[in-house]
Amino acid sequence: MTTIRRAISIRQPYVEQILRGQKTWEYRRQNTKIRECVYLYASRTPGPKTEWRKLRMEPADLPTGRIIGAVEITATRRLRDGFAYKLENPRRLKRQLKPINQPQPWFWKPRFTLWKKSHDGEKIYECEVKKLFMRDGVKRWEWLRMSVADAIREGATEFRCKDCHGAVRLHGKHVAHAPAPHVEHKSRQDSEYCPSGMYFRQHPGREPGLSSAPVE
């Protein structure tokens, strides 16, 4: 299996139509020389109402803001006012991916982790902590990314992996001369599919994904 490097942003329900094999051409103003398998990122802005009606669905029915599949671009064709990209072999990801960088409207390179290189096993130095925020006069719980050292300092009680949202164990609590504070996945399966998991890093080319039991 080759590693997928790029993503293309497409609105829903077009992504769903591609994954069902009902849409085999993507129309764009620019041409591309890309002939490879790319991730399908479902843009947050919904596509036209007529397309939703065809599927008897509404925007809330389909995921957005995530990478949910992959497809191969095998050819392009010039049209009167743009280009059509031939799409083949669509597939849904078993676990949806949430990139950490800003998606772009056309092709872009998603990044999934801020993982810092370490040779001695699983060391993730950042995590997400649940915090109470005031937004528009309403109190809301939101996940905030912070260093594990800060999370420990604050005595955080609800935290999770920043990449796969799986349950993690905090390390480095009040221990002198110990390695820098870090987290470790509680579940082996999370570590196998989380982009910052130790077991994931041992399998280059594997597709990363969200935890099957995310901490919400």
Residues that bind Zn ion (CB under 5 A): 161, 163-164, 166, 194
Residue 172 CB, nearest distance to Zn ion (Å)? 17
Nearer to Zn ion, 62 or 215 (CB): 215
Residue 164 CB, nearest distance to Zn ion (Å)? 3
Task: Please name which of 83, 45, 48, 98 lies closest in space to residue 214, comparing C-alpha atoms.
Answer: 98
Q: In whole angstroms, what is the distance from residue 168 CA to residue 186 CA?
A: 5
For residue 13, whether the previous peptide bond is cis, meaning omega lies within 30 degrees of 0, is: yes
Residue 167 CB, nearest distance to Zn ion (Å)? 9
Nearer to Zn ion, 129 or 164 (CB): 164
Nearer to Zn ion, 16 or 190 (CB): 190
In DSSP notation, 8-21 reads EEE-TTHHHHHHTT
Residue 57 CB, nearest distance to Zn ion (Å)? 31
Cα separations in angstroms, 121 against 176, 179, 201: 20, 12, 10
Residues 6+ apart with CB under 8 A from 50: none
Residue 163 CB, nearest distance to Zn ion (Å)? 4
Nearer to Zn ion, 156 or 164 (CB): 164
Phi, psi of 126 (to 5 degrees): -130, 155
Nearer to Zn ion, 163 or 207 (CB): 163
